[in-house]
Structure 1
Amino acid sequence: MAVKEPLAAIVGPTATGKSVLALHVAARLKAEIISVDSAQVYRGMDIGTAKVPPEERVGPGGVPIAHHLIDIADPDEPFSVADFQKMARTTITSILQRGHLPMLVGGTGLYYQAVVDPYIFTPMPGDKKIRHNLEAMAQKYGNEYLYAELQKVDPVAAERIHLHDRRRLIRALEVYLMTGKPISAALEWRRKQESPYRLAAVALTMPRHKLYRRIEARVDAMIAQGLVEEVRGLLKRYDYRLPALQALGYKEIGAYLRGEMGLAEAIELLKRNTRRLAKRQLTWFRRDKRLYWLEVEPNNIEEMAEKIVGYIAEHLDINVQ
């Protein structure tokens, strides 16, 4: 039996401090970071996705830490989870060939699982008639109708798919109507399969009220850093209806710039939607029993980093100097 390649990960909900902790951990473990964020793949979307600026991608003592799968597509380029999986697995192999440890860092649960679990993206042929009917119903009654129908036939998938994600709602219903089986059944099968990697994964969490305060402070900081100007620049170049520009932060500020709401309302909506995202992320990652959960102590980064280093080193049999 072939020896599995080692893979580390730091995942969890937004605003828990994954990026900062990862820099400390990567420096100790001689790791390279692979971003697991569905929005950070896009160029020009920097402030709203909380990318670590290139000049700050260093660990303690100024040790440079390589980051991968950031800024690899323009917002108007099609980019799927299957694309991400292929690129991430190729990157993992190349990092190992350099004698370094690959470390996934981020909060997009589907992207994370597509890498660490045996996801096989063999597209099931669609049914144009079914899809057309579902799209017509969505136009007539709204996403709420699709969501209610999905809750009836596949409540597990409904829990994972956001009300506003019409494309995925339609796809989940299409699969059910074509096969008579919920799309979530395939996800459950994947979860029961063995990972292709020797995995050591840490998930960060914190008390809900503290996390929500951090989320609100982060949104305020993004506005101060120029999020409105960043979105304005993107909307001059791209159609606001592009999937990339429906990402958190870009959708809300875009609505403000189109005159659909005031700035204060857009900011409050962004805070609310970010809190909801964090809740969904926690729900997603809680299902993965392989994760080692660690409560974040923001004022004790070094000690937390040591705990993560110790856990990863022990599980991957790595000597830490």
Structure 2
Amino acid sequence: TAVGKTTLSLQLAARFKGEIISADSRLFYRGMDIGTAKPTAVEQAIAPHHLIDICDPDETLSLGAYQQMAYETIDGVLTRGHLPILVGGTGQYVMAVVQGWGIPEVPPQPALREALAALGGAELARWLAVLDPVAAERLDPRNVRRVIRALEVVLVAGRPISQLQKKSAPPYDICLVGLHREREVLYGRIDTRVDQMMAAGLLDEVIRLRAAGYGCDLPAMSGLGYRQLWQYLDGELTLAEAVERIKFETHRFVRHQANWFQRQDAAITWFDMEELGVESAVIDFVRERLEIGD
């Protein structure tokens, strides 16, 4: 988040005839453009983009459905002789594709989810640590929706989600690139971006979504920027407090995001985005790793 993925992905796409495939769950939703830092129309015109604006805010896209769509999109890009570039910071969506996760076939259980939600975050985290300690270590306990899903799977299937998500490597030659910035630098970029989002009309975007009938209880509305401004509109926060909370919670999110990716796959090659010439270094690495000719 705010590390520079979009700019670098466009450079890679231009250099290698690439097509960009989003692995950011927030970009799936139509009408949620500013708060998700969705690539602009100009950016999307530079290279083909896929899996953006594919559902309404009140729709859900399961991890399994996304994985299937991503594989179909990758195959289409390869058929055209282009380079698929998977871009995003939603860890489970990225790794489900590149590691070939087996997705548990456990349909949603509304009554069970409601009962679990009533337990509260701390109790949910405690039960997950007992029933699926691997998932408990991997998931952010503040992400109650995913904690509930992990508990739902183990209670319905009788096996932990961490066991059911067995990996079967997809038939692609994969090059994994991670982008890094020093934490304080990243925080500064986040704060600047939040201010730019507010100036660009993020509050108006949230007002339009409310007017369209979308509720604050939707998963799409739980995202950074939307939830806090919803609280402002409900009179729970001042506007200044809402903006500061967006910044603070985004700082916390990127810490978890970085730790998650660093634990997930030793095959990720990390690049410091503050280094001079890092864009050229990434391009050279991808060319060599995938044996792409000039």
TM-score, normalization by structure 1: 0.83
Query: Which residue number in structure 2 is paired with residue 93 of structure 1?
Result: 75
Counterpart of 1:43 (choices 22, 30, 44) is 30
**Aligned mates of 1:304, 1:31 — CA distance in 2:** 19
Counterpart of 1:271 (choices 247, 250, 253) is 247
1:167, distance to aligned residue in structure 2 (A): 3.5
- Structure 1 residues 49 and 173 mapped into 2: Cα distance closer, same or farther (>3 Å)? same
**Aligned mates of 1:269, 1:163 — CA distance in 2:** 19
Counterpart of 1:124 (choices 106, 127, 144) is 106
Query: Which residue number in structure 1 is paired with residue 291 of structure 2?
Result: 317
Deviation digits for residues 178-228 of structure 1 (CA, Å, limit 9, x no counterpart):
5665322344x42xx434321011100111111112112211111111111
Kindly tell me the number of residue pairs found equivalent between the two proteins: 292
User: What is the RMSD of the two structures over their aligned residues, measured on CA atoms?
Assistant: 2.2
Counterpart of 2:63 (choices 81, 99, 102) is 81
Trace 1:151-300 onto structure 2 (pairs within 5 A).
151-177=129-155, 181-187=159-165, 189-190=166-167, 193-237=168-212, 238-286=214-262, 287-297=264-274, 300=276
**Aligned mates of 1:34, 1:126 — CA distance in 2:** 27
Trace 1:93-112 onto structure 2 (pairs within 5 A).
93-112=75-94
Query: Which residue number in structure 1 is paired with residue 115 of structure 2?
Result: 136
**Aligned mates of 2:40, 2:124 — CA distance in 1:** 39
**Aligned mates of 1:38, 1:252 — CA distance in 2:** 19
Deviation digits for residues 73-98 of structure 1 (CA, Å, limit 9, x no counterpart):
11112222222112111111111111
* 1:223 partner SS: helix
**Alignment check: 8 A CA contact 2:23 2:90 kept:** yes
**Alignment check: 8 A CA contact 1:160 1:280 kept:** no
Counterpart of 1:31 (choices 15, 18, 28) is 18
**Aligned mates of 2:121, 2:37 — CA distance in 1:** 29
Q: After alignment, is 72-81 or 199-208 more displaced?
A: 72-81
TM-score, normalization by structure 2: 0.91
* 1:57 partner SS: helix
The percent of aligned pairs where both chains have the same amino acid is 46
**Aligned mates of 1:215, 1:155 — CA distance in 2:** 32
Deviation digits for residues 52-103 of structure 1 (CA, Å, limit 9, x no counterpart):
2111336xxxxx3111111111111222222211211111111111111110
Query: Which residue number in structure 1 is paired with residue 8 of structure 2?
Result: 21
Q: After alignment, is 215-224 or 145-154 more displaced?
A: 145-154
- Structure 1 residues 234 and 91 mapped into 2: Cα distance closer, same or farther (>3 Å)? same
1:296, distance to aligned residue in structure 2 (A): 0.7
**Alignment check: 8 A CA contact 1:25 1:309 kept:** yes
Query: Which residue number in structure 2 is paired with residue 7 of structure 1?
Result: none
**Aligned mates of 1:137, 1:112 — CA distance in 2:** 27
**Aligned mates of 2:12, 2:100 — CA distance in 1:** 27
1:240, distance to aligned residue in structure 2 (A): 1.9
Trace 1:53-92 onto structure 2 (pairs within 5 A).
53-57=40-44, 64-92=46-74
Query: Which residue number in structure 2 is paired with residue 3 of structure 1?
Result: none
1:234, distance to aligned residue in structure 2 (A): 0.6
* 1:305 partner SS: helix
**Alignment check: 8 A CA contact 2:128 2:147 kept:** yes
**Aligned mates of 1:106, 1:137 — CA distance in 2:** 30
**Aligned mates of 2:273, 2:109 — CA distance in 1:** 46
Which of structures 1 and 2 has the larger relative contact order (alpha carbons within 8 angstroms, sep 6+)?
1
* 1:199 partner SS: coil
Counterpart of 2:96 (choices 79, 103, 114) is 114
* 2:246 partner SS: helix
**Alignment check: 8 A CA contact 1:116 1:196 kept:** no
Letter in structure 2 aligned against 1:19: T
**Aligned mates of 1:210, 1:125 — CA distance in 2:** 42
Mind listing any 5+ residue stretches in structure 1 that lack a counterpart? 1-13, 59-63
**Aligned mates of 1:82, 1:175 — CA distance in 2:** 14
Q: After alignment, is 146-155 or 274-283 more displaced?
A: 146-155
- Structure 1 residues 91 and 127 mapped into 2: Cα distance closer, same or farther (>3 Å)? closer
Q: After alignment, is 261-270 or 170-179 more displaced?
A: 170-179
**Aligned mates of 1:19, 1:68 — CA distance in 2:** 13
